[in-house]
Amino acid sequence: MGAEMRQVVLKIAFDGGAYHGFQLQPGAVTVQQRLEEAASRLFSKERVVMHGCSRTDAGVSAREFYCTFAVETALSPAKIKLALLALLPEDITVYDCYFTEAGFHPRFAAQSKRYSYTIRNTPSRDPFLGRYQYSYYRKLDEKRMDAAAQLFVGRHDFRGFMSAGSSVLDTVREVYECTVRREGDLLRMEIEADGFLYNMVRIIAGTLVYVSEGKIALSDLPGIIASGRRELAGPTLPGRGLCLERVNLAPHRCDRGEERCLEEEQNRRG
């Protein structure tokens, strides 16, 4: 069979410790850059353009992430996967590869995303896993933090939990689940929502730390969420504790042109 234009979808995972996030940035090494370099070498093109299911910040990892690109090829998905694995650095892997309909974009197809934030709550840091954890030396109350986490569940305007610099206009999101549990020396927050604002998970995590410390009263948290005032919430914790755990995709085709779809999605979810 000869070469045909194909819409390729990759299911990947990456250790974000060496990267300035997924999306291309001038003067910085990103996951998208490494994927595009590998695909461009494979298909002998000047540049293959990747589109991801989400932006990520510097140092953030992903256990499940989807990206897509269009290319003319006669290779099967299995051969594309094996070839990319050989070309990619060891901190990026490809779990699956398949073809889909033209116009598919994983960012538009993401119905929900699930993140975790991990805090190492001991007087010393871990020299082996420190790049995946935020070390916090004072004792944290996971039960109090979990009670506070439940207050984020539901449909809210989260503009007070968004860092400056975002151009997103619609700041309403629905959080399906938000929990905190202790696993030995580690505290793990998990949150799933239909979308997230810029630094939203890291700010929620910082707010829960403030609740544990008594800097924010549990009874005041609903009012802080409703106020939309960033200065009332907690700090933005470092990116290294954050991991994108899962992305729930639904088939979606953008028939209005990619630029229009990107604009609409940016205004809606970020």
- Active-site positions read 57
Query: CA-CA distance, 196 to 50, in Å (whole number)?
Result: 21
Among residues 82, 66, 58, 38, the alpha carbon closest in space to that of 252 is found at 66
Token pair for 188: 């793990």
Residue 59 phi, psi (nearest 5) = 85, -5
